[in-house]
Every structure is written in structure tokens, then in C-alpha cells.
Amino acid sequence: MPPTPDQESARAPYGPLPSGGTVRPITRWGTPVMHRPQEPVTAYDDELRTLVADMVATMYAADGVGLAACQIGVDRAVFVFDCPDASGRHTVGVVCNPVLALPEGRDRQLEEDEEGCLSFPGAFVECARPDHASVTGTGLDGEPVEFAGDGMLARCLQHETDHTLGTVFGDRLSTKLRKKLQKAHDRLAEDYPADWPA
């Protein structure tokens, strides 16, 4: 994953990501919380702010571009991201209770590109996804938010919304690609101990 820029140079339409969080170990595929729809966010309080700050700290520590709450073991439908679009411009944001919208009909074009997941670290394979995506939801204070983009940002918005629905991107792969992903993961398993990246 590319290094993240200073948040000030990124597009932050709803303000910067919260800082000062604690890096937590990343939860892996196979853990039940990763494979079930997440509980909706109903309280926009200090507990949510602390959770989101920890998610941001963990995402950056792991050199990721997005992270959902279930990836640190918390059953809550929220994700954070700091991700470039096709032009290389980063957007940062927090989305609670995300709802994904994808192009349909003639506007729908699939893009084959490598995809990985911090909860299955070190492994990347080609995964086809629509080349544009938009997500609506709520922000840290319960305000409506909407993000849209192409390139890696489109992929990130889809990938993280999937997490809130209990879907990992391996669920979208053929058996052959899933086996390839597993082999790549197993080769590098020693580089990612159980407490990584804490």
C-alpha cells in the first residue's frame, strides 16, 4: 500500500480523521465478528469517538487505506479510510451505517486490480469490482455524509462496506483465486504475529 500523506493535504469534506487513538491488534478472517452483519451505530458519543480514533491509529500503523470496526474485533457498522482515487488524490473520512451505491447498466464497468485485506495480511490477488462507487451514511456526530470516487477509492469504499455486512473479499473470489490468496498469506504468516500491528 502507498504511504499516506499528511491529512491536511488530503480531501476531508467532513473534517480530519480523529487522532490520539491506540493501535489495536487486527482481527483475522475466521473470527466470527468478521463474518456477520455488524450492529448499527446508534449512539454518537465519546465511546464511538474513542473507537474511531483507535481504528485510525491502527489503520495507519498497518499501512492500510481503510479499516472497519470488526477488524479490531468490535461489532459496529463503521469504517474509516484514507485512500487515493484514480488521480492519486487522497480522501479521508468516517462512515457509520454505510449504504453502498454502484453503477448499473451501461455505466457499470468492472475493473480488475489487486486487492488485499489487513485481516488476511500480506496476500493480494486480482478481484473484479465496479470502477466507481459511492457510499452514504453518517459521520462521527450523526451528520449525513457521502463519499464517491474511482480507482482505489472506489475499491476501498466497496471493500469496507462489505466488512460492515459480514463479507470479506475472499468471499468474492473463485476457488482457484482463493487458494492462491491462501498460499500467499501462509508464506508471509510469520511476518504478521497475532498482535500485529500493535
Query: 143: which residues sit within 8 A by CB, 6+ positions away?
Result: 14
Span 11-188 CATH architecture: Alpha-Beta Complex (3.90)
**Model-level pTM?**
0.94
- Nearest residue to 167 (alpha-carbon basis) of 48, 38, 72: 38
pLDDT at 2: 35
As annotated, the active-site residues are 160
Plot region of 20 (φ>0 → left; ψ -120 to 50 → alpha; else → beta) = left
In this structure, are residues 97 and 77 in contact, taking their beta carbons and an 8 Å threshold?
A: yes
The dihedral over CA atoms of 151, 152, 157, 160, expressed in degrees to the nearest 10, equals 160
| Domain residue spans of the chain | 11-188
DSSP state of 45: S
Q: Mapping DSSP to helix (H, G, I), strand (E, B) and coil, where does residue 11 land?
A: strand
Distance CA 121, CA 189 (A): 8
Q: What is the pLDDT along the chain (198 residues), one digit of tens a residue?
A: 334 444 446 899 999 999 999 999 999 999 999 999 999 999 999 999 999 999 999 999 999 999 999 999 999 999 999 999 999 999 999 999 999 999 999 989 999 999 999 999 999 999 999 999 999 999 999 999 999 999 999 999 999 999 999 999 999 999 999 999 999 999 999 999 999 999
- Nearest residue to 84 (alpha-carbon basis) of 8, 1, 168, 170: 1
pLDDT at 1: 35
pLDDT at 10: 84
- Nearest residue to 185 (alpha-carbon basis) of 127, 126, 122: 122
pLDDT at 9: 62
